[in-house]
Structure 1
Amino acid sequence: MILKKTEHLPDSDKGTRVALVYALVAERLGIYYEHGQWPTVAQGAALCAEWLARSQRSLALPERQYLSEVSDGLARDIAAGLSREAGLYTAHELSESLSVNYLSEVGAAIMVECERALDS
């Protein structure tokens, strides 16, 4: 589902990393609220590799693992502050906002948090 929508990654290195964290947060929240499980860091790193390969890009495994760890912490922090219903809505909103044609206030706020998490 999300894999199809991540083809439009920003050209900058930082932008790509923020976009990857954002997509991973969306994926993690979706899996958590639909299946009650959190993807592992290794699974997140593998997803990064798949997404990057679609645009003939790559990152070293340690970098992909770091991005996966950042997204895991952020997704868990977000989930801790949401009811199940709000979490399902947020996961859906983030997934939809991966499309460049979909504007979302929730998505924009989470994108800022993704950038902040990478900067810290």
Structure 2
Amino acid sequence: MILKNTEHLPASDKGTRVALIYALVAERLGAYYEYGQWLTVGQGATLCAEWLARSQRSLALAERQQLSTASDELARSIAAGLSREAGLYTAHELSESLSANYHSEVGCSIMVECERVLDSLRGT
């Protein structure tokens, strides 16, 4: 998973937070296109906690909720601009690109958006 690349970094590191937003966007789009439902902010925050716990890291609930909300807004924005077929493809690409062995141009462009979203949360 993409978070594996940040295991040596603290949970508060920018790279870790960008990776969390990215992974949440992938999960949200996958759930939306597979089941027709969006994950809640709470579900996203819980996923963050589970992912971070795998490497003995944690973030405060408020921080996880903020990242979850940001990922929700980005995922819905992405979905609004895609046909169902393109959305399914995008969700698949993002899920596949969570593996360090898979390179995706779509994933790279979404990663840039995730970084932009995080920067806007911090006001930079």
Q: Which band: TM-score by shorter chain?
A: over 0.9
Paired AA for residue 67 in structure 1: L
Aligned to 2:81: 81
Give the Å deviation of 1:22.
0.1
> How big is the shift at 1:119?
0.6
Work out whether residues 22 and 110 of structure 2, in 8 Å CA contact, stay in contact via their aligned partners in 1: yes
Matches within 5 A, 1:7-22: 7-10=3-6, 11=9, 13-22=13-22
Kindly indicate whether residue 65 of structure 2 is the aligned counterpart of residue 60 of structure 1. Answer: no
TM-score normalised to the size of structure 2?
A: 0.91
Shift of 1:6: 4.7
Q: 1:9 to 1:41 in 2, by over 3 A?
A: farther
**Aligned-CA RMSD value:** 1.0
Instruction: Provide the C-alpha distance between the structure 2 equivalents of 1:77 and 1:20, rounded to a whole number of angstroms.
Output: 17
Distance 2:58 2:27 in 1: 19
Equivalent residue for 1:41? 41
Q: Report deviation, 1:9.
A: 4.0
- CA–CA distance in structure 1, aligned partners of residues 86 and 55 of structure 2: 33
Q: Is structure 2 residue 118 aligned with structure 1 residue 118?
A: yes
Q: What is the percentage of aligned positions where both structures have the same residue?
A: 78
TM-score normalised over the length of structure 1: 0.94
Q: Which runs of 5+ in 1 are unaligned?
A: none
Structure 2 gaps, min length 5: none
- Between the aligned partners of 1:6 and 1:78, the Cα distance in structure 2 is 20
Tell me how many residue pairs correspond in the alignment: 116
Q: Which amino acid aligns with 1:8?
A: K
How far apart are 1:7 and its partner, in Å?
4.8
- Which residue identity lines up with residue 55 of structure 2 in the other structure? S
Moved over 2 A (4+): none
Which deviations, in whole Å up to 9, do the C-alpha atoms of 1:8-30 show, x marking residues without a partner? 14226000000000000000000
CA distance in 1, matches of 2:55, 2:26: 20
